[in-house]
Amino acid sequence: MAQLSTKVKEYLKANSVNTVNFQSDVLLQDDGQGAYIKEWNISSVAKPTDDQLATYETVANTAESNATVDATRKAAYGDIGEQLDEIYHDMDAWKTRIQGIKSDNPKS
């Protein structure tokens, strides 16, 4: 199940708001019975209902999965300086290594 923050981000993205600050724009809270929107400070978009947010479950799951893949790839790619050195010395080997990382860590 996707996190509430991810569903909120996807809801806002669908409503042409591409950034959200969870310290001021939208405050989330979890009282032990599940997370909920405590405060909504985005005047350009109506606060979503639970039913509206539920419709973003699939896209939010995909976003979270892809974020995990991105983090895994980033760690596997290594330092950019080392990559540039690798490209300088053997671009074909670098391309093969990077393609292997992408193949081993596909996005949804």
For residue 73, the model assigns a pLDDT of: 97
For residue 108, the model assigns a pLDDT of: 87
Per-residue three-class SS string for 43-101: CCCCCCCHHHHHCCHHHHHHHHHHHHHHHHHHHHHCCHHHHHHHHHHHHHHHHHHHHHH
**Cα 9–chain centre separation:** 9
DSSP 8-state secondary structure symbol assigned to residue 28: E
- Are 82 and 46 spatial neighbours (Cβ–Cβ below 8 Å)? no
pTM of structure: 0.82
Mind listing the pLDDT tens digit of every residue in the chain (108 residues)? Answer: 999 999 999 999 999 999 999 999 999 999 999 999 999 999 999 999 999 999 999 999 999 999 999 999 999 999 999 999 999 999 999 999 999 999 999 998
Structural domain range at position 26: 4-104
For residue 21, the model assigns a pLDDT of: 98
Domains in the chain, number:
1
